[in-house]
């Protein structure tokens, strides 16, 4: 087992909670990290992360989200759709469903 810290980082009985490499939990955690890191935030890897769509007009660029996730997490196929149930006057959200491309 190659341990990877679980996201969000947390401790249980004084020990860092980890997920086994290539487990479904670790792959889902990787998707979460990609979507939470703004593009350019990591100094050592500035091309990592999700382009900021905070002030995008109209709809989210779902193709951009799909391409970013495919680039950084090839172990999973992701289905990205606009989530109409989350729409409010100034909030647009996306739902990301992760489908493992191989059995962990």
CA pair distance 86, 6, nearest whole angstrom = 27
Residue scoring higher pLDDT (24 or 57): 24
Per the prediction, the chain carries an average pLDDT of 80
Q: pLDDT tier at 14 (50, 70, 90 boundaries)? A: very high
Is residue 4 within 8 Å of residue 21, measured between CB atoms? yes
Q: Which residues does residue 20 pair with via DSSP β-bridges, in sequence order? A: 3
Whole-prediction pTM: 0.69
**Helix orientation angle between 62-72 and 24-36, rounded to the nearest 10 degrees:** 130
Q: What is the pLDDT of residues 60-75, one digit of tens each?
A: 788 888 899 889 988 8
Q: Which domains does the chain have, with CATH numbers?
A: 3-100 (3.10.450)
Q: pLDDT tier at 102 (50, 70, 90 boundaries)? A: low
Q: What is the mean pLDDT of residues 10-39?
A: 89
Question: What's the confidence (pLDDT) of residue 54?
Answer: 79
Is residue 50 within 8 Å of residue 65, measured between CB atoms? yes
Is residue 81 within 8 Å of residue 98, measured between CB atoms? no
């Amino acid at each position: 087992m190659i341990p990877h810290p679980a996201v969000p980082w947390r401790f249980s009985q004084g020990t860092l909670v980890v997920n086994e490499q290539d487990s479904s939990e670790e792959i889902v955690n990787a998707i979460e990290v990609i979507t939470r890191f703004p593009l350019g935030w990591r100094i050592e890897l500035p091309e990592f992360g999700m382009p900021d769509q905070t002030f995008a007009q109209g709809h989210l660029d779902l193709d951009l989200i799909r391409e970013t996730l495919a680039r950084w997490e090839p172990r999973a196929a992701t289905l990205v759709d606009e989530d109409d149930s989350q729409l409010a006057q100034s909030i647009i959200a996306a739902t990301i469903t992760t489908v493992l491309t191989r059995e962990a």
